Structure 1
Amino acid sequence: MNKNLLTSLCIMACSSMIQVHAQQTALAGKIVDATGMPISGVSINVKGTQLGTSTNESGLFTLSAPSTGTLVITAVGYAGQEIPIAGQKSIQVTLRPDDTALDEVMVVAYGTARKSTYTGSAATVTPKEIRDQPTTSFENALNGRVAGLQVSTGSGQAGSTSNVRIRGIGSMNASNEPLYVIDGVPVISGNVGQMSGQIYSTSNVMSTLNPADIESITVLKDAAASSLYGSRAANGVIVITTKRGKVGKPTISLRSSIGLTPSWATDNYEIADPQAQINMEYQIFHDYRTSNRNNATGVNYTDAEASTYALGQINNRFNRHGYRFEVDDVSRMSNVRILGMTDGIENREGRYFDWEDYLFRTGTFQTNDLSVSGGTENTKYYSSLSYTKDQGRATINEYERISGRLNLNQRLFQNVEYNVNLNLANTDKVGFNDTRSTGSNPFFQSRNLLFPFYWPTDYKTGNPWTAQYGSLAFNPGYYNDQWDNNTRTLRLGAVQSLSWEIVSGLTAKTIFSFDNTDVRDDLYLSALHFNGATDKGSSSRWNNNIRKYVSSNTLTYNKTFNLHNISLLAGYEVEKNVTDYQFSNGVNLGSSNSSSIGTGANFRADSYSWGNNLMSALGRVDYNFDERYFVGASLRRDGSSRFHPDSRWGTFWSVSGAWSLHREGFLKDNDLVSALRLRGSYGVNGTLPNDNFAWRTLMYYKYNYKGSPGGLVSDGSLVNIDKGLGNTLLRWEKSNTYDLALEFGFLQNRLTGSVEYFSRDSKDLLQDVPTSGTTGFTRALQNVGVINNSGIELDLGGDIISNDNFSWSLRVNAAFLSSKVKTLDAGKDILWNDPTGGDARAQFIYREGESVLSFYGYEWAGVDPQNGRNVWYTNNTTNDFDFNGRAASYSYSKASQVIIGSAVPQVYGGINSDFEYKGISLGLNFAYKLGGKLYDGAEKDVNDDGYYWERIRSQQYYENMWSPTNPTGTQPKIDGNDLTDAIQFSSRHIYDASFLRLKNINVAYQIPMAWSQRAKIASARLFFNGTNLLTASKYKMADPEVGQYGTRGWETPLGKTYTFGIELNF
């Protein structure tokens, strides 16, 4: 299928090439801004002719033109120029801003807007800022670019899904992800995979969009900016516009890059060496024995008896792998001698197996992009073909994408334009469950389960080791060949629109889009696999087909009357979402080599189809006087099938205003103040429930019960599972948002920025509320909660140095955020666990007046220097003893759980700096987070103080654990009996989450045009990109950049990637 797809996409790309007029005089040039930075998308036309072209991403262009002609150069946001050619062969032109730096044109809700006249809160990210980053999905490159936008990439697996938050968390049970709009229509987003369990994979549907096809990204943050999207916009909107062709001869762009990620480029849970590991194992069993009575004698075991027991335990566990052990003396702290067994074909004395080297590799990332674009005044086209392969550091992780795009703009008549955008992409991912899955997570295995004394082969025979090493660990070298899983996603996106300018200023536009995402998850477990043995081999397939249809019809009117400017919008929109799901499974496969479901002796199947519909009417009015005083208002009325007919309609609206003070007489000729604008807004957005049928009382049926399919039992009754009591009064979650901002520019806009305050009250939040048992149900979904997100955003940038040879620009953004629970049902606390991967690694609490991400558990007081035991603050009337002046106990069972920190940072943002010197450019992108906590669930495993003897322990634990010779140790003694921190959530594993990270460094060299043109290349550019190269953090155990809930488990850490590439334009 991939070959056919690739062939089709090649035809799509190549067929769009169009011939232009014959050559005249060859002219090459570069267009730059006042800082010397190249400007892409600049239109260059020969005055009085149809000849023209546009600049590429490097600001370069070539054009055949009469030597006596005149170039007309225009670009959005810049003052146009006319330049006589006068026989020149090459030219460089510097464009100056048209008015102010605030005047960039942004793609916003249902249209475009100049930033200087826009009354909502929005920020833009250009392709230039993210173009060289080795990422499979564009949102991974947004970190630190926009104030108030937070990207959490919890896993470093190839093809993993990121979580995006704009201005905090606004819901408890519904989605907190922003709405994604591509080329004017909402699209499918998020993780759409269905496979879960021991082998788990995700399908990030946004990764089907090739980042190289993106023309602009706009982030809409307040109600004035996003309320036209109504019930889907409470969490903000990310508006993406893909590239379009420009007037001129065909431009061919070829871009290729390759990146390398060392297997462990970041230091994560460094394990103690083999000698330290076996010493700790000996101490666990020795301590266990001396802490218990000998039933035969009635007294505690002696050191000699404990030593004999401990040696017996470790010899019993590791003799079979070629090792035997002795001690110098019988004390608990004796050093264990590691010797080799001599009864096999291999003597392993002095040698240990390196599981990290065995399970991991240097990851490689490669991408190749080809695009062809151009056009005439009537027909413009952009086409692309892209191939990306991300070979993860784990040997069982890989991601591959093939995608193609064709965007066509055709002027049918003078006042009628037809546009069609087509995108086809196929992704294939092989992954694993990177939580605490003992069977499939190589990171968890190598750092916490696979002792260096375990080998993948039997020392006696040299054959593969097929048995379990213990109760937890398996041989991945053998079992990785006994299972297979992959996720394939095929996505087709089609958007067509027709615009008709009825009269001057009055335009009708109709859009129809079809977004089809087909996801297929396959999982095969042979009969030899530990998870497939019971079923004698198992093969499963999940098929998930998601279709989104959107039809939008709008009428816009723009008119200027003297100094009065008015813009009106009215529209009607319908959306239909359909999901078809099928599951099939075959067990008792005929052969250990057969992965086909059809070869099974027994089968199971399940399927369903569901959907929802949305119908909307919308309108907007914007008015300004002399571009000095601005007012705006928007209204949207949504009706959704996710609610009962009596309550399915919701009204969402906003009002906004702005005042451009710099246009007033008292500032108009001020040499210091170039721009000064005050704006504010208030509005209401909504959020839909995740469940399509939450308002109904429902049962669902198991596919098999007591051997009878379809939920039927022998007496004919139906088997049902409580899905919750329906609530016909369910209504929209609503977010009431205030926004007030001051935007400014000084010294001819050499320094620009903004200060913005926002407050969002998310009301009528959906919560599962307990119900009376007399109803036959345990819970019902109700609108009862309120969350507030408020804060201040700062954005400050400037052109520090700007001259013909050297330029330096710097931009800093920061978001100060407070996210608190205001109201709960009857004020009752709600306990919940981190749902990431289903391993319940951390416990949270919703409590009125507290953070929305409040960790809840026992408060660890530290280590008693007298005996090395864990000490717990009781936080109640229990007082076994005082510790640091507070009531404390050695037993957490006597303590009360309390809030032990919040995962919400106090401030987060980015620092971005760009330098350019004579064709050499350097870009630095830093992301930071200050304040807030992270909960390290994996540290509970690697710093286990004795509960699980089968845990490999970290070097950090070994160096800092208490012992008679280290009474100031910060980690408790290794203990075989007094197990006080086995599985409890506690502040022992809470850390400061602050960090500063160099997310991206980009170094590029623009090859001089005189050199590249000798090779018939219009322009050539070489670049290097490094990601995650430097990190500063108090947290040293592992990667401080964690997922959306502020927790770290056994997800694959983010790696350091070194990428080299070339870009050619013809």
Structure 2
Amino acid sequence: MATAVAFAQKKITVTGTVNEPGMGPIPGATVIIQGTSIGCVTDFEGKYSLESPADGVLEFRFIGMETKVVPVGGKTVIDVDMESNTVAMDEVVVVGYGTQSRRTVTASISTVRADAIKDIPAASVDQALQGRATGISIINPSGEVGQAPIVRIRGVGSITSGTQPLYIVDGMPIQTGNLSYGGNVNALADINPSDILSMEVLKDAAAAAMYGSRAANGVILITTKKGSSEKTKVSYDGWFGVTTRSKFFDVMNAQEYVDFKNQAVRNRYGTDEMSLTEGYTSPYGNKAFNMWQLSDGSYVDSDWKSAAFQTGLQHNHTVSVQGGSEKTQFYLSGNYTDQKGMVKGDKYNRLGTNASVSSQATEWLKVGANVNASTSQTKYTDRSRKGGTFATEGFTRMAIINPPNVPIYNEDGTPYLGEGGYLGMSPNTVKNGYTNPAALLTYGSGVQSEITRILTSVFADISPVEGLTLRTQYGIDHSRVEDKIFNTAMMFGDTENGHAANYAAKSTQATWTNTATYTFSLGEHHFDILAGIESFEKKLDRWGAARDILLDDKYEVFQGPFATISADGNAISESSLLSYLGRVNYDYQARYMLSVNFRRDGYSALSKDHRWGNFGGASAAWRISSEKFFEPLSKVITDLKIKGSWGIVGNTNVADYASKSYYSNGYYGDNGSYLLGQIADSKNLKWESSTKYDVGFSAQLLNNITVDFDYYKTVSSDLILNVPVSPSKGIPNNYITTNAGKMNNTGIELNIGADIIKTNDFTWNSSFNITTTNNKVTKLADGIDQLVSGSSTETTNITVPGKSIGQLYVYPTGGIDRETGRRIFYGKDGTKVLLMYEKDGRFFTEDGQPYAESDIEPVICGNTLPTFYGGWTNNFRYKDFDLSILFQYSGGNYIYNGTTATNSDMRYWNNTTDVLENYWTPERKDAKYAYPIYGDNYSNGSAKPISDWVEKGDYLRLKNISLGYTFSTKKWPKKLGISSLRVYAQAQNLFVITGYSGLDPEALTNNTNANLRGGTDKNTLPQAKVYTFGMNVTF
């Protein structure tokens, strides 16, 4: 209808040119008649011609430029100058030590804005990045509250030195990883996601080399919100939510458990009376497994999930004030978050404030400061001392394997303990080995970490002449951490007759940065030159004490009287880094672009001969769409830029005294003492270095579809390993830490975004990204042809040249033999072998001949690193309603399903109903599980990890869905002084589509050493479902 009205009015032909001041004409800009779909695109010289109503209004649009609206007013010639979008952060990229227009960026950088994460109930900012940017893999290894994710940028950059990227907050590097010594605390959780304006992921050397020796694993720049010269605004962002389990297994009830276990006993011994075979005696009788009858005549049938899990409640509140004047701007916020996890006893809370102020004191001087202060507390029940269960599982395993015929509580309401603090030697079982989650919670066993942290920086910008800015910034990241661990003698502390530990640490990082930036133009040649010097220093001072043998079991806190007290975890360390850096950016009409950077670092942790290293990168880009020959394609491909980069960066994730010798001392005899060498010095230890290559392009199609593509390759060398030496040399531990390994990572990144529908009432934009990663270890060291991680009772990984790091290394099996019901193993010569657990020798060929267990060897059975990952985001708006949906996916990796292994153990632990329904019988020959033999922990893959439990880890997860309503057209909010009001409901982790049969394909048991020992899931807590309701209001 609007179109018909437009043509019914008087029409005139309007012509003109669209330019960018100082840059020349803009080809490919869109010119439309406002309120219609009528428009055109400027030609190579920026010219356009369009029939328009004489009283119409024209809109001029182009990527990276402010939209211009111009009334026609009867004019037939309208020339327009379009300004770069310097206000909207969507078109400005934060780079190392500055900012840059997206149009002239030559490096590979992914950006995530505040709007993309505003509704996510994440405790830390790194979790909010998952699925939203190319090149960055975020793995949440557990559903525990406060658990730090595993973050990798473009693959694995080191074998032993860690792969955590460098995080920079408002120009200052911060501490990352686990701040706690005795607990598990994510350092990034101290930054309130509501205070973040943007996050940039620097991926190639052209972007990251400005950070030199700390940039091998990539760099993430976090920019927090700042003040404004507009009217002061007061805002509130808050949400309330609940957390529940996303998935769990069905387990046998009490009667099923007793019947099944007794059958397994009979299958082994021919009787269900253990006294005939093991001299078993019990006040309850000689039968191995029995039902437990209560005083009222009923039988125990415990639901252990109820003792371990709960519906967790969460809420988060942020109040902020933003405003200022032309000279002075400020931002101030206060935040409180409280999260109770789905595991009973898991808690996290944070109270924090963030302040930013800047002032143009004079025409040539600008000063400012940023302060982020927080105090947080993390609590969880200690799962590190679990008698009778594997050391890699917590409450999840207890809720599955605890016997259902044993009560959770005694009839007087106290937690049932059994003998020795365990749920054992009762009518249920023949051995000890169970732990009662209810008792853990009741008697106070747990870990508590309290952290007080302040991130603060001050800066001054001096502009003595036009184009020149001298900047100095000094920043400190200071934290104090106190960890308290207590285990009563009644439970996990039984081996020490009660155990407590206390650790206190203070850590300080100080960074002083001085830079000079000179920006100038020579005609249409534009230069941005930076030079600087930076000093960095970190210090750690930690003390601790451990106490055993609780003298009075009435005490339920770590201050109780103990018989033995010893020092534990004491450490003092410091290191420093001195850097010289520089960069030159050049562009001509934003058509030809070049960037060169350099950094020289000196690090105190390395020996004097290898302390200094040179790093740097170069990149170039060409906007082909600005060339004359491209004009025939300009209506379809409105913008096209190709780019390439090369550079060298380093890795400083080594101990502060990595090149020094280590000694231990102690007492010898009555009056003597000794000093014993522990680790030999490494005088030749130097940087791990990575050479990065990148080629790609950025394109815009039809002015509403964007495509970004990159191919990358990273060659990492001088990787640090402990290289063995001959014992005759007398070197402690017979190894020296040295640079030896090599590794490559290659892959592609693709991001496609589109405004699919865009009208006044309805919009739909979509963004899809995918990253592929191919990791290959090319060399270990002389004398090392493989690195094997693990033992015969844990999942084993192996790293060998020619394959990806941390391959699964398991024993080859072939399912269940149809005729005998026994697990099939394969010898190293390919012989088919059957496991007869109850017989001496255990392994036999099909014709009954004994087969040596030593001749069954593990084989490489799968890559543990995802080879592709990404996300798909769709945003819809209909009038005042908005809907956002994020799918996140990952795949190409394999998982050892230790959950299936431990949940089908044929000893005294409970099993899942899947075992009950799928074990071998003469009538069920196509079985998943072996013929049940009591005590058999081989067939299920506990004693030996087996290939039958290796599964693909591919998955597609509905990560987040949010539905909101903005009261933009209502009058009543304005009457209350409300300028904007939005309410929303959000759900996270609603479902996962996967072929993996465990609880969660993303969960990893060995998350603390995920490179060499990845791909293992042993009842790891899955990601929680989170439902929240929130509000954003501004006054």
Scaled by the length of structure 1, what TM-score is found?
Answer: 0.83
Matches of 2:488 and 2:648, distance apart in 1: 54
Note the C-alpha offset of 1:445: 4.6
- The reply on whether 1:682 has 2:646 as its aligned counterpart is yes
1:944-963 paired onto structure 2 within 5 Å: 944=905, 946=906, 949-963=907-921
Structure 1 pair 506/257, CA: closer, same or farther in 2 (3 Å)? same
Name 1:330's counterpart in structure 2.
none
Name 1:856's counterpart in structure 2.
809
Matches of 1:840 and 1:807, distance apart in 2: 56
Structure 1 pair 839/366, CA: closer, same or farther in 2 (3 Å)? farther
Gaps of 5+ in 2: 1-30, 35-59, 72-81, 425-431, 835-842, 1005-1009
SS state of the match for residue 531, structure 2?
strand
Note the C-alpha offset of 1:667: 2.4
Matches of 2:470 and 2:787, distance apart in 1: 52
* Amino acid aligned to 2:301: Y
Q: Paired residue for 1:1033, among 994, 1013, 1027?
A: 994
Name 1:549's counterpart in structure 2.
510
Note the C-alpha offset of 1:889: 9.6
Q: Is the 8 A contact 1:711 1:719 kept in 2?
A: no
Name 1:374's counterpart in structure 2.
323
Name 1:972's counterpart in structure 2.
930
Name 1:997's counterpart in structure 2.
957
Structure 1 pair 279/589, CA: closer, same or farther in 2 (3 Å)? closer
Q: Paired residue for 2:306, among 357, 371, 378?
A: 357
Q: Is the 8 A contact 2:707 2:752 kept in 1?
A: yes
1:116-515 paired onto structure 2 within 5 Å: 116-195=103-182, 201-262=183-244, 264-267=245-248, 269-290=249-270, 306-309=271-274, 319=284, 341=293, 345-349=295-299, 351-433=300-382, 437-438=386-387, 443-458=395-410, 464-467=416-419, 468-470=422-424, 471-482=432-443, 483-515=445-477
Matches of 1:546 and 1:231, distance apart in 2: 21
Q: Deviations over 1:189-222 (max 9, x none)?
A: 1112111xxxxx3011110000000011000000
Matches of 1:840 and 1:813, distance apart in 2: 40
Structure 1 pair 773/998, CA: closer, same or farther in 2 (3 Å)? same
Q: Is the 8 A contact 2:552 2:560 kept in 1?
A: no
Name 1:64's counterpart in structure 2.
none
Name 2:1029's counterpart in structure 1.
1060
Q: Is the 8 A contact 1:311 1:325 kept in 2?
A: no
Structure 1 pair 466/413, CA: closer, same or farther in 2 (3 Å)? farther
Note the C-alpha offset of 1:602: 4.0
Note the C-alpha offset of 1:1030: 1.6
Q: Paired residue for 2:95, among 108, 116, 121?
A: 108
Q: Deviations over 1:910-964 (max 9, x none)?
A: 11111110011111111111221012223221022x2xx2221122222222111
Matches of 2:503 and 2:792, distance apart in 1: 22
Q: Is the 8 A contact 1:860 1:987 kept in 2?
A: yes
Matches of 1:1050 and 1:281, distance apart in 2: 21
- The reply on whether 1:525 has 2:487 as its aligned counterpart is yes
Q: Deviations over 1:684-712 (max 9, x none)?
A: 000024212221221134xxxxxxxx656
Note the C-alpha offset of 1:433: 4.9
SS state of the match for residue 1040, structure 1?
coil
Name 2:696's counterpart in structure 1.
741
Structure 1 pair 801/407, CA: closer, same or farther in 2 (3 Å)? same
Note the C-alpha offset of 1:148: 1.5
Q: Is the 8 A contact 2:416 2:423 kept in 1?
A: no
Note the C-alpha offset of 1:844: 1.4
Structure 1 pair 798/723, CA: closer, same or farther in 2 (3 Å)? farther
Out of 273-282 and 382-391, give the one that drifted further: 273-282
Matches of 1:940 and 1:731, distance apart in 2: 43
Q: Paired residue for 1:845, among 757, 776, 798?
A: 798
Matches of 2:291 and 2:482, distance apart in 1: 50
Note the C-alpha offset of 1:567: 1.0
Matches of 1:502 and 1:711, distance apart in 2: 65
Note the C-alpha offset of 1:278: 2.0
Structure 1 pair 220/840, CA: closer, same or farther in 2 (3 Å)? farther
Gaps of 5+ in 1: 1-32, 37-72, 85-94, 196-200, 291-305, 327-335, 702-709
Note the C-alpha offset of 1:465: 3.8
Structure 1 pair 278/756, CA: closer, same or farther in 2 (3 Å)? same
Name 2:774's counterpart in structure 1.
818
Name 1:828's counterpart in structure 2.
784
Q: Paired residue for 1:638, among 592, 597, 601?
A: 601
Q: Paired residue for 2:757, among 801, 823, 828?
A: 801
Name 1:760's counterpart in structure 2.
714
Q: Is the 8 A contact 2:724 2:783 kept in 1?
A: no
Matches of 1:444 and 1:103, distance apart in 2: 43
Q: Is the 8 A contact 1:769 1:825 kept in 2?
A: yes
Q: Paired residue for 2:687, among 727, 732, 737?
A: 732
- The reply on whether 1:622 has 2:560 as its aligned counterpart is no
Note the C-alpha offset of 1:81: 5.6
Matches of 1:1025 and 1:791, distance apart in 2: 34
* Amino acid aligned to 1:845: I
Q: Is the 8 A contact 1:914 1:923 kept in 2?
A: yes
* Amino acid aligned to 1:793: E
Matches of 1:459 and 1:597, distance apart in 2: 31
Note the C-alpha offset of 1:840: 8.0
SS state of the match for residue 484, structure 2?
strand
* Amino acid aligned to 1:734: S
Structure 1 pair 317/983, CA: closer, same or farther in 2 (3 Å)? farther
Note the C-alpha offset of 1:1016: 2.6
Matches of 1:979 and 1:592, distance apart in 2: 36
Q: Is the 8 A contact 1:730 1:782 kept in 2?
A: yes
Name 1:918's counterpart in structure 2.
879
Structure 1 pair 713/125, CA: closer, same or farther in 2 (3 Å)? farther
Q: Is the 8 A contact 1:794 1:815 kept in 2?
A: yes
Q: Is the 8 A contact 1:880 1:888 kept in 2?
A: no
Scaled by the length of structure 2, what TM-score is found?
Answer: 0.85
* Amino acid aligned to 1:266: K
Q: Deviations over 1:338-379 (max 9, x none)?
A: 7664xx633233x51222112221011110111011000111
Matches of 2:784 and 2:121, distance apart in 1: 46
Structure 1 pair 570/251, CA: closer, same or farther in 2 (3 Å)? same
Note the C-alpha offset of 1:874: 2.2
CA RMSD of aligned residues (A): 3.3
Q: Is the 8 A contact 2:261 2:934 kept in 1?
A: no
Q: Percent identity?
A: 28
Q: Deviations over 1:609-641 (max 9, x none)?
A: 111100000011111122111111111000001
Matches of 1:423 and 1:194, distance apart in 2: 23
Matches of 2:486 and 2:502, distance apart in 1: 9
Q: Is the 8 A contact 1:871 1:891 kept in 2?
A: no
Note the C-alpha offset of 1:890: 7.8
SS state of the match for residue 260, structure 2?
helix
Matches of 1:648 and 1:697, distance apart in 2: 17
SS state of the match for residue 729, structure 1?
coil
Out of 754-763 and 980-989, give the one that drifted further: 980-989
Note the C-alpha offset of 1:853: 2.6
Q: Is the 8 A contact 2:868 2:892 kept in 1?
A: yes
Structure 1 pair 149/888, CA: closer, same or farther in 2 (3 Å)? farther
Matches of 2:266 and 2:782, distance apart in 1: 52
Note the C-alpha offset of 1:739: 0.3
Name 2:75's counterpart in structure 1.
none
Matches of 1:858 and 1:397, distance apart in 2: 37
Q: Is the 8 A contact 1:436 1:1050 kept in 2?
A: no
